Amino acid sequence: MPTRSRIPPYVALIPVFAGVFIAADDQTVIVTILPRVMVDMKIPVSALDRASWTITGYLLGYVAAMPLLGRLSDTWGHRRLYILSLLLFMVASAAVALSPSLPGWFPVEPFPTLVASRIVQAIGAGAMLPISIAIMGDLFPPERRGVPMGLMGASAEAGGVIGPLWGGLMIRYLDWPWVFWINIPLGALVLIGVLLLLRPSPRRHARVDYLGGALIIVSLAALTLALARVDSHDRIMALYFAVFALSSTLLIIRQRTAMEPLLPLSMFRGWPFRAANSTHVLVGGALIIGMVTVPLMANTVLGRTPLEGGLLLVRMTAGIPVGAIIGGLACQRIDFRVPTMTGLALAAVGFLFMSSWELDVADPAMTIHLVITGVGFGLLIAPIALAATNTVEEAHRGTAAAVVTATRLVGMTLGLAALTAWGSARFDGLVAGIQLPFALPGETAAQSQQRALEFGAQVNEAGLTLFTNFFLVAMVLCLVAMVPAAALASRRDRVKI
């Protein structure tokens, strides 16, 4: 049952929201500081795939350990696991900040140390969001969880929005390690707030399926690594997929035979829980397409600077926390399926508008289309999370929150891999018939220059077609997501206690 306290529950959630914000900020802050990191670590531009491990590694740690830590929070207490996850995040942040200086103290390579520290940092950060959802369930009865869920989603999305801008400011006035050093005092403030304002959560004596947790980690890690290499089609990619298939099979067997499985199969037998996770996978795929395509399109065919491309994306992502709060308010008054369907429809309409962009597209049309898409995605946060967590046993709420959070990230990983593989093939097909502007015998300089300009225009048109196709794919994913969303739990469905 929800814990009772004299402190108003919204006040008690303030430090929890702050921790979620900081963790989300560190997920995206690397985007703007990566060039400086590469210089300090002596990584050439030609080795960008190596540098990308600062991002891939964080995603790996963020997703892989989430279900196990969500279950541990159910048995050890949500507040206790939140504190431990925050401490892990702070220690790993210090390790990331120290990594450039390590060779002077220890005979270790700085970059692998940085990546390993980022993975550990992500494990702590990844646990904080589902545990926060479970803490919110401790403080509020089911019928009042919509607004706090919306605020929590807004905190997470706002952190992701601020991350790149925060990194840019830190780089301008300090150095990139300070992006991570600042996590120590900020984390300490959050820790003090949690200890002072949040009462201990209920603990449930149960066994934790550590073997099942290890199999989930191996399975999700192998899938992430395989998808990161999907465009290479090499033996290593095939090996990762084989490990994923084997570990997933063993996981299913383990969950069927364990006395107290980490992921109880009863949790997946209900349509509402399966529908929430299926919807989230598709939403994650559509979201990552938008987040990658908007700045990439701006920086290439639209001829904008990287800063302009980033600010263009902010117009979409800034709409997400706004939509999250509106969605949370709606969940306390109307059926969960209404804000979900509305959000999917808005996102689909936004992508449809964006698929009509031409090379001369400008404001206010761009901003309107991006804000519509962002608000649409924001509307989905609270109803999908509540539909998943309100219809499972209270003893498994942390686990359910971890699973439904992880499925969106898995969808983003799948979407990014599909975008890379299909996009490369699609672009090759679009430019296949374009003649290279080699100089022809008897051709004047003016004629050669004209043909070069025509070639550039044709390549730009091919790029524009590719990007608008990406937006259409994202639109289709949003429309397809309406099918499982129709089976989401109603706000009036009874919670299993």
Residue in this structure with the two tokens 């004299």, named with its chain if needed: 6
H or E element at residue 36? helix 30-40
DSSP structural state of residue 361: -
**Residue 223: its pLDDT value, please?**
81
Let me know how long the chain is.
497
**Residue 432: its pLDDT value, please?**
56
DSSP structural state of residue 334: S
CA distances to 9, 23, 168, 217, 402 from 250, in Å: 41, 32, 44, 12, 20
Spell out the domains of the chain, with CATH numbers in brackets: 1-208 (1.20.1250.20), 263-432+444-497 (1.20.1250.20)
Q: Is 359 helix (H, G, I), strand (E, B) or coil?
A: coil
* Tens place of pLDDT per residue across the chain (497 aa): 444 457 888 899 999 999 999 988 887 787 667 777 777 777 665 555 566 677 777 777 877 777 788 778 878 888 999 999 999 999 999 998 888 776 545 455 677 788 888 889 988 988 888 888 888 888 888 778 888 888 888 888 788 777 777 877 787 788 888 989 999 999 999 999 999 998 887 766 667 788 888 888 888 778 877 876 766 667 888 898 899 999 999 988 888 888 777 777 777 777 788 899 899 999 988 988 888 788 778 877 787 776 677 678 788 888 888 898 899 888 888 888 899 999 999 999 999 999 998 888 888 899 999 999 999 999 998 889 888 887 777 667 777 877 888 888 788 877 877 776 666 666 555 555 555 555 556 666 666 666 656 655 666 677 788 888 889 999 999 999 999 998 886 655 544 43
Instruction: Cite the DSSP H helix spans in 432-444.
Output: none
**Residue 4: its pLDDT value, please?**
44
Residue among 98, 64, 327, 15 at smallest CA distance from 214:
64
- pTM, full prediction: 0.75
Full DSSP string of 54-106: HHHHHHHHHHHTHHHHHHHHHHH-HHHHHHHHHHHHHHHHHHHHHGGGHHHHS
**Residue 321: its pLDDT value, please?**
87
* Packing angle, helices 271-299 and 306-317, rounded to 10: 150
Q: How far apart are CA 113 and CA 210, in angstroms?
A: 26
Compute how many other C-beta atoms are within 10 angstroms of the C-beta atom of residue 168: 16
**Residue 414: its pLDDT value, please?**
78
Q: Which long-range contacts (CB under 8 A, 24 or more apart) does 290-295 make?
A: 290/316, 290/351, 290/354, 290/373, 290/471, 290/474, 291/316, 291/317, 292/416, 292/419, 293/419, 293/467, 293/470, 293/471, 293/474, 294/354, 294/370
Q: Which long-range contacts (CB under 8 A, 24 or more apart) does 365-368 make?
A: 366/312, 366/315, 367/315
Q: How far apart are CA 323 and CA 340, in angstroms?
A: 11
Q: How far apart are CA 295 and CA 288, in angstroms?
A: 12
Which tokens hold the place of 476?
Answer: 């289709």
